[in-house]
Amino acid sequence: MVKRSILLVVVLFQINLLGQTAAKKEKIGQVTFLTSQNIYVRFENTDGISINDTLYVRSNKKLVPTVLVKYVSSSSCSGILIGSAQLKVNDSMIALIVEKTEIKEKPTEGEIKTEEKIPAQELIPAPAKLQISKGSSFARRVSGRLSIASYTSMSNTPGLANLQNWRYTLSMEADSLFRSPVSFSSYINFVYRADQWASVTSHLGDAIKIYDLAFKYAFSKTTNLILGRKINPKTSSLGAIDGLQFETAIKKFTLGAIVGSRPDFSNYGLNAKLFEYGGYISRDDSISTSTSMQNTVGVFQQTNDFKTDRRFLYFQHTSNFSQSFGLFFSSEFELYKRKKGVGQNVFDISSIFCMASYTPSNWLSLSATYDARKNVVYYETFKNIADSIFDSATRQGLGFRLNIRPVNSLWLSTNFNYRFSAADPQPARNYGGSLSYIQLPIIYSSLYINYNRIENGYVKGNYYGGSINKDLFNGYFNIGLGYRKVDYTFPQSSTKLMQDIASIDLSWRVLASTFFTLSYEGTFQDKQSYSHVYIGLNTRF
């Protein structure tokens, strides 16, 4: 997938108070972009937010640790997911800030803090929020994003046609519709190939992908009912649920019930024959404002053509025992399943995922994961072959990551992954490292270099990469250049995959909340070449 590099608008907002105070304050931000490795969050400013701080989401009056901050700029930050929350663009996130302010005409030279900037290739446009007055007849708060993009694929390979794909995306959240207890959320994509427009008009459902479309009715601050398609963060492994979700909190406990169906396997549309239902109970505990723990237990039954297909027990644990240590764990135990058309009661563990993160200081962080979940199925992806192979080879198994910042602008990272199962011809060992230098001297650009080695029974090889990004014209333009080299061998077929991948990304901030992006990625191997061009216009409201 072509990388997109977009500059953030920097907004500074300064508060002066009489006297001196020290207290925890919630600073609200919004998710602006998500990748498989990082979550990007935009704030009005990031004063008081540091690397290795924790960002939270609010759930039933509790702050649940969700993101561990790894990069900070003047108005945004990015980090890794440490909880189970299914985040999406425009979701609210909370940083706990210790404010210490005092009367001063202006800061002294020694008190001016040098801003740390996120590498330009990781900068994502920030959403602009439309605050509607209390007297509005529509909603108390509305925010959203609209984008139009074109993906064009070209190749010199005989018989391989050049293709152009169009993608329209609309996401929106509206609170208190018509000053009522009803809220609305949506995330909808409309994707089609230009040469298949005639087919799209007769099969519109195949082109429209609805990932979120739901109404929420709040009976009170602790009780609500959701109607539509929505992912429940307390039962994240279920994925999207089409139907009704009811939840109520009683002191530290939360009770929930789900009745609906799963999206269709083939086109992600509605399929009532995949009926499912179940319930869960969750308990929230906390020792202080910076520590929290949530445990969820649920039982669910899924059907296929209204016949019981699966019954399982679900357990999920999220905790933040201190500001430096976080833990997430989820598992599924099969209680009933069908084999060759015959149903049977069982008690087998079918899914485990665990992640622990430890940040003893602001220059060191460690994380460990164990992933024994089923393979992920993508309904939409623009990843190239090399990236898809790498993701598949490194997702499951036991993984470790170490991040070190020896100096203020330099980040070093190393990772190791090990997997062994009866289905693998041999154990899989994957390892690598990366270097990020923020704002190189003289040229004031950001540099990123990485290397990964893959070794398993299906593929062996090396993956090298590097990119550099530069802001131009006071940040209105950004340019990024990248290069990757792939050298994979497939032992079972004695074939090789050798590719040189070059990319260039240009972005232009047309208006405060509107961005234009142009990206090119070229893949070259032997006598074949593949080119991908992305053109996009993105605006937030």
Structure confidence at residue 311 as a pLDDT band (50, 70, 90): very high
The CA distance from 262 to 264, in Å, is 6
175: pLDDT strictly greater than 90: no
Domain ranges for the chain, please list them. Answer: 219-359
List beta partners, residue 388.
Answer: none
Q: What is the mean pLDDT of the chain?
A: 78
What pLDDT does residue 201 have?
85
Least confident of 47-56, 126-135, 163-172, 486-495: 126-135
Most confident of 82-86, 429-433, 510-514: 429-433
What pLDDT does residue 151 have?
92
Cα torsion angle, 227, 230, 236, 239, sign:
positive
Instruction: Collect all residues with Cβ–Cβ distance below 8 Å to 105 and sequence separation of at least 6.
Output: none
**Structure confidence by residue, pLDDT tens digits, 444-458:** 888 999 999 988 878
DSSP 246-293: EEEEETTEEEEEEEEEPPPTTTS---TTSEEEEEEEEEEEEEETTEEE
Q: Which amino acid is at 106?
A: K
Three-state DSSP class for residue 306: coil
Spatial contact of 100 and 21, defined as CB atoms under 8 Å apart:
yes
Instruction: Collect all residues with Cβ–Cβ distance below 8 Å to 464 and sequence separation of at least 6.
Output: 450, 451, 484, 485
Query: Which of 67, 81, 8 has the alpha carbon at shortest distance from 353?
Result: 81
**Structure confidence by residue, pLDDT tens digits, 500-529:** 999 999 999 888 888 899 999 999 988 889
Structure confidence at residue 223 as a pLDDT band (50, 70, 90): very high
The distance of Cα 51 from the centroid of its chain, to the nearest Å, equals: 18
Structure confidence at residue 56 as a pLDDT band (50, 70, 90): confident
| Mean pLDDT to the nearest integer, 261-270 | 88
The CA distance from 230 to 228, in Å, is 6
Least confident of 108-122, 131-145, 259-273, 426-440: 108-122
Structure confidence at residue 206 as a pLDDT band (50, 70, 90): confident
Structure confidence at residue 235 as a pLDDT band (50, 70, 90): confident
What pLDDT does residue 125 have?
36
**Structure confidence by residue, pLDDT tens digits, 57-75:** 876 556 677 887 776 665 6
Spatial contact of 184 and 174, defined as CB atoms under 8 Å apart:
yes
What pLDDT does residue 451 have?
94
**Structure confidence by residue, pLDDT tens digits, 136-149:** 556 677 888 899 99
What pLDDT does residue 390 have?
62
Structure confidence at residue 377 as a pLDDT band (50, 70, 90): low
- Residue 381's CB is within 10 A of a number of other CB atoms, namely 12
Alpha-carbon Rg of the chain, whole angstroms? 24
44: pLDDT strictly greater than 90: no
272 φ/ψ sector (left φ>0, alpha ψ -120 to 50, else beta): alpha
Most confident of 37-41, 115-119, 224-228: 224-228
